[in-house]
Every structure is written in structure tokens, then in C-alpha cells.
Structure 1
Amino acid sequence: MIKWLFDRLMAFVGLLLLWPALLVVAILIKIKMPRGSIIFKQKRVGLNGKLFTMYKFRTMIVGHGGSSVSVAGESRITPLGRILRKYKLDELPELWNVFIGDMSFVGPRPDIPGYADALVGRDCDILKLRPGITGPASLKYANEEEILAQVENPKEYNDTVIFPDKVRINLDYYRNHSFVGDLKLILATIFRSYEIG
């Protein structure tokens, strides 16, 4: 209950304080990427496996038809999009997802159905958590796109190395998370100082 109240209160405060930044980013997207919508919407798997619509600022060209795995330097990511993704500004609209209860500030990143459907056995415990904007797995792989840019087959590496490791980290979070721990993860996200083995 404390986490539920904290999420909604802080999401409301965040939206209230950051609306000028949200507006500036929206205007820049409209100017620099006039073809297409400002907000990118995608179905993700949330609490108890229920689908919800996640909102982000659009960072790619329209109709790119690319892989679900993003790699740094891809041509489908626009110059403005690269900046937004580097500083995680594209994720600011997720504050709305937190405010309406689809997401939490801290938790496993919500996967697209194809990846969430691959969870079996105790791995499915991850779906008992409300997905988050940040979390221990997100922090470990904050530079995921750069990592994938250095391997020969990004999707295969993601599916066989990164995704299983994220599942392991998220299961550990499921078993050991606490409100105080969440606060530490939020601060670590802000200052990018967290390391996990």
C-alpha cells in the first residue's frame, strides 16, 4: 500500500513539475520528426500478465518495420531520438502509466508479449510484480543498446544472454524487494551509480 501511494503521489508531482520539459520534447519531435505521432504506444505485459498500453516519446522513423530489439546507431532511430534515448527522456510519458496504475517507479521492465510468453515455471513470479520504469535489471543494462551494437547477432545475444540474465535479476528482486530498497534504486537511477553482480 505504501508503494502504491508513493507511486501515484510522486507520478503526479513529476507530471506537475516536468510538464514544461514534456512540452518542449513534444514540440521538438513535431518539428524534427513531423511525419508520425509524438507519442509511441505499445502493448506490454503488466501485472498478472494483463496487457496495457505503455507510452513513450517516439524516437524512430515511421514504418521502419525493424526488430523488437533496438541497437545503438540504427538508421531507424532519428538524430533527435538518439538524444532522447541516451538521456532516457523518451520514457518521461511513462509517468502517466505510473499515475494510472499500470506501472510502478521500480519493478521489472514490461516486456512485449513474445518475451513474457517465454517465461515458464517460477520465472512467471515476475509477472506478480507491477512493471517499473527502473529496476536492478534496467540499471545493469542501462547501456543495453551499446552492448548489442558490439555483437554479431543482437537479437540472438539478447534472447540467449541478456533476457535470461534480466529474468534472474528480476526474480531476485521479486524475492527480496522492499520500499527502502526501491528508494535506493530510484536514487541509483538518478545518479547512475548502481552496480549489480
Structure 2
Amino acid sequence: MRRWEDLPSFMKTEEVRPYWEILWKKRRHLVLKRAFDIVTALMILLIAAVPMLVIAVMIKLDSKGPVMYRQERITTYGKRFRIHKFRTMIQNADRVGSAVTVSNDNRITRVGALLRGLRLDELPQLLDVLEGNMSFVGTRPEASKYVRQYRPEFNATLLMPAGITSEASIRYKDEYKLLSASEDVDKTYIEQVLPGKMKWNLNSIERFSFFRELLTMLRTVMAVLGKEYN
């Protein structure tokens, strides 16, 4: 973790400072978190290698386009990276719609709907974890255009790597349903959905510990299996 004076200027604000102080005191937990990420990502990749190959073949047979979806996202300290995800939409879907998904989105392919339901489309993000751009638990990486709309306090979520899952992801696992009735999806996401998710993300920083993140991973599994969290 960087010292306060080494943070990017846009993060050195009075709104971010309290969250930085919390994490600075828990640097050992951050080291343990990174070690866990590397070991666990390697183990899962070894186990999931064959299933991921099968998924890749299914995607190619189902629709035209690449197997992977690579979009620029933002992670620690505002760093830009291209996320790894299995493609679940038609080719060039981001050119014909919003960067967020709504209910009954006709851009989603048949195989894509299955992958999204089981969150298998996120398996390739294990590569991002190994590269250090992501962690198993952390604020979901947003597209640049949404990060530019962050309130000053929201920048505190960039103190740690973006995550595959989070408490916000669990509570907003069906966010596409909230957006489906909107006439302006991006506006609704920025003004209503994003602040709600950030409330959970910031709360997770305030209560951060490595062991609490293990609990979040367990809750994620339960949510995928159908358990509802209010």
C-alpha cells in the first residue's frame, strides 16, 4: 500500500483520508490478502483449465466474435487495465448499447445467459488477479466513464485492487432488473445504482479484514446458489 504522500493527487482529499488511515493500520491484512489471491487463483486455474476450454468452445459455436471480452476498467490508484471476461454478448455489444446490462438485454447470447447466471463468465478474471489488477474481493472495476463521475469519497475504493466479488455485488446481483425500466440507463446507474453500491463498498473498507473477506466469498457462493441478501 502506498504512503499518503505517494497517492495520486486526485485521491489525496479529506474524503479519502479516513479510509486510507484504516487500511494503513491493517497493512498486514493486505499482505495476507495478496498471498491468498495468488495461491488461490493458481489452484483454481489448474482445476478449471479444462472447463474453461469447454466454455471457450461453446462461445465460439454459439455466436460470432472472440472468446474473451476485453474492456478497459479502472483499478488501484486509477490504473487502467483491460479486464478478462468470457464474452456473453454479441460482438461489439458496447457499441450498440450501455456499458451496463438491463433485464432481457437482447445483446446477451444463449451461452452468455447461462454463464452470467452461474457467474462463470468471470473465471478469466483469475488472470487479472495474478497480474495484481484485481483481487477476489474488492469494488467491482468500473468503466472509465463511470469513474469520471465518482464523488470524492468514492475514490477511496481505489485504495485497493478491484474485485471479482464484493458485498455490493451480492446485494446488487440483480441490478440489471433495476435498470430495465429506465429510459436513460447510464443516468440511472450513475445517479441511483452507483451511490447505493458505493455505500456498501465504503462500508467494506471501514470494516476491512482478511477474514471478513473470506466471509464475503462464502456469501457470494451462497448468493449464486440462490440465497437472497437484503
What is the TM-score when the length of structure 1 is the normalising length? 0.93
Distance in 1 between the 2:161 and 2:92 partners? 30
**Of the candidates 155, 167, 171, which is equivalent to residue 202 of structure 2?**
171
Instruction: Write out per-residue CA displacement over residues 137-183 of structure 1, whole angstroms, 9 at most, x where no aligned residue.
Output: 10101111223224454333222111011111111111211111000
Q: Which amino acid aligns with 2:190?
A: D
Q: Secondary structure at the match of 2:82?
A: strand
Q: Which amino acid aligns with 1:49?
A: G
Distance in 2 between the 1:184 and 1:62 partners? 36
- RMSD across aligned C-alpha pairs, in angstroms? 1.4
> How far has the Cα of 1:21 moved from its partner?
1.2
Aligned length: 195
The aligned residue for residue 60 of structure 2 is 30
The aligned residue for residue 128 of structure 2 is 97
Distance in 1 between the 2:157 and 2:111 partners? 33
Distance in 2 between the 1:63 and 1:17 partners? 31
The aligned residue for residue 221 of structure 2 is 190
The aligned residue for residue 41 of structure 2 is 11
**Of the candidates 72, 90, 115, which is equivalent to residue 61 of structure 1?**
90
Q: Which amino acid aligns with 1:94?
A: Q
Q: Is contact 1:188–1:194 with CA below 8 Å preserved after alignment? A: no
Q: Secondary structure at the match of 1:84?
A: helix
Confirm whether residue 109 of structure 1 aligns to residue 143 of structure 2: no
Confirm whether residue 39 of structure 1 aligns to residue 68 of structure 2: yes
Distance in 2 between the 1:122 and 1:7 partners? 26
Identity %: 35
Q: Secondary structure at the match of 2:164?
A: strand
Gaps of 5+ in 2: 1-30
Distance in 1 between the 2:139 and 2:161 partners? 8
Q: Is contact 1:185–1:194 with CA below 8 Å preserved after alignment? A: no
The aligned residue for residue 81 of structure 2 is 52
